[in-house]
Amino acid sequence: MVSEEKGTVKLNLFEVQVSRVATLKVKDVDRKILRLLQEDSRRPFRKIATDLNISEPTLYNRVKKLQEEMVIEGFTTIINPEAVGLKGLAFIMLTVEPSKEEEIINRLSIFPEIMELHLLFGDKNILIKVRDRDIESINEFITKKIKSIEGLLKVECYLSLKTKKESHIIPI
C-alpha cells in the first residue's frame, strides 16, 4: 500500500499524504471507513461493517492496517474547551531568528496551552494556536513563557472573539 514515488492515481484509489517520504494510496472502502470513524469513532464495528457491506474481520483488518500505516493516528475524545473553563483563544504569530527556529519550536512544543504549532512561509515563521482560561491568562502566557524564549524577534497576538467553525473532520 505504500508507494515511494508519485504517479497517476487510479479512479478507485485516493492518496493521503502521510509524510515527506511516503504517500499512501487509500482504497475507496478505506476512505468510507475513515469518514464513518471521523463522524463517531465509538460506532460499533458491526454497524460500520453492515453499512459498508463488508465483514467485521475485513473491517478490523482494514482499520488495523490504517493504524499501522499511520493513516489513523489514534482515537480520542473531543472536549468543548469552554465547558472546561478554557474561554480564551488566540493565534500568535512569531518572527524568529532563523538559526534559532528549531530550538524555539522544541521549547514551544512543551507548553500544553499551545494546541497547534505551524511553520509558515513569509515574514512570520511560526503560527501557534493557544487556549487558556481568559484574555488575562493568555497575556500572562505570552509575557512569562513565550517572550522569555531567546531568539524571538517579534510576537503578534490575535485574540479570537468567537469561533464560528472548528472541525476535526478531514475532508476525504
Task: Determine the average pLDDT of the residues in 93-111.
Answer: 96
**Intervals of CATH 1.10.10.10 along the chain:** 2-68
C-beta of residue 4 within 8 angstroms of C-beta of residue 19: no
**Intervals of CATH 3.30.70.920 along the chain:** 82-159
- Residue 20 corresponds to which cell in the numbers above? 515527506
pTM of the model: 0.79
Q: Which CATH number fits domain 82-159: 3.30.70.920, 3.30.1320.10, 3.40.50.970, 3.40.718.10?
A: 3.30.70.920
C-beta of residue 169 within 8 angstroms of C-beta of residue 34: no
- Does the structure show a pLDDT above 60 at 25? yes
- Does the structure show a pLDDT above 90 at 109? yes
d(CA 99, CA 107): 14
Task: Determine the average pLDDT of the residues in 157-167.
Answer: 95
**pLDDT tier at 20 (50, 70, 90 boundaries)?**
very low
What pLDDT is attached to residue 23? 59
Q: Worst-scoring range by mean pLDDT, 24-38, 46-60, 98-112, 135-149?
A: 24-38
- Does the structure show a pLDDT above 70 at 107? yes
Within 10 angstroms of residue 95's Cβ, the number of other Cβ atoms is: 15
Q: Is 80 helix (H, G, I), strand (E, B) or coil?
A: coil
- Does the structure show a pLDDT above 90 at 47? yes
User: For 2-68, CATH number?
Assistant: 1.10.10.10
What pLDDT is attached to residue 24? 63
- Residue 156 corresponds to which cell in the numbers above? 503578534
Handedness of CA 56, 60, 66, 67 (dihedral sign): positive
- Does the structure show a pLDDT above 70 at 19? no
**pLDDT tier at 26 (50, 70, 90 boundaries)?**
confident
Task: Determine the average pLDDT of the residues in 83-100.
Answer: 97
Query: For all residues of the chain together, what is the average pLDDT?
Result: 88
